[in-house]
Amino acid sequence: MYKVFVNDKPLFLTNQVVKETDFQLFLLESVDIKQIIVKMFQNKIDKAFLYHPDEREIMTKLKEKIPVVKAGGGLVYNKNGEVLFIFRNGKWDLPKGGIEKGESIEETAIREVEEETGVTGLKITGKLQKTYHVFKRNGQYKLKITHWFEMKTDFSGTPKGQADEGIEEVVWMQPKQIREALENSYENIKLLFEEEKLLI
């Protein structure tokens, strides 16, 4: 099962037919995806399931219905075991951004972390899960697939947020601070920490 966030509300892609209780179930093959997205942005739908019988085909089918943007991002640890967070648009987030022509997704992730935070000396130490969310740009809805990587750095300077990207703060956080920050973050960032069992 995949979880795609639309306006921070979950859209589940599933090959299981579940009895509807507090959500709506749609057939991925025939659904007007834009209509569901609009309703989720208007807060008319809080949670929805898109059904397709073949789990391996689910993401392919969704990509046929909505343009895809690939992004790379980093969950960055310093030598004290703290994690790098950015504050943008009133929420705590992790640094990430879109892929550029000719880049590998790993190169994208490192470049974006460096650009958004000023932190250098990054080494990828592991691949984390992908997250999915829908956003609107120039009047068009797009599906952003973010490839996340665990990174480590010995950087000892002062991080500096990329102002033209609207980043107001860049902070190294300890586990207790991370828990608080996640209360004012995005669902896919929370999911990343839950899935990777980073705050147990």
Examine residue 200 and state whether it is found in any structural domain, yes or no: no
Residue pair 53/61 in contact (Cβ under 8 Å)? The answer is no
Per-residue pLDDT, averaged over 165-193, amounts to 94
Q: What residues make up the domain containing 185?
A: 68-195
Shortest CA distance to 144 belongs to which of 1, 5, 50? 5
pTM for this model (two decimals): 0.91
Q: Can you tell me the distance from the alpha carbon of 112 to that of 60, in angstroms, rounded to the nearest whole number?
A: 27
- pLDDT per position as a tens digit, 58-105: 999 999 999 999 999 999 999 999 999 999 999 999 999 999 999 999
Residue pair 44/23 in contact (Cβ under 8 Å)? The answer is no
Indicate whether 32 and 114 sit together in one domain: no
- What is the pLDDT, as a whole number, of residue 24? 81
Round the average pLDDT of the chain to a whole number and report it. Answer: 93
Domains of the chain: total? 2
Domain stops at, among 65, 85, 100 = 65
Residue pair 57/85 in contact (Cβ under 8 Å)? The answer is no
For the chain, percent of residues with pLDDT exceeding 90: 86
Indicate whether 13 and 73 sit together in one domain: no
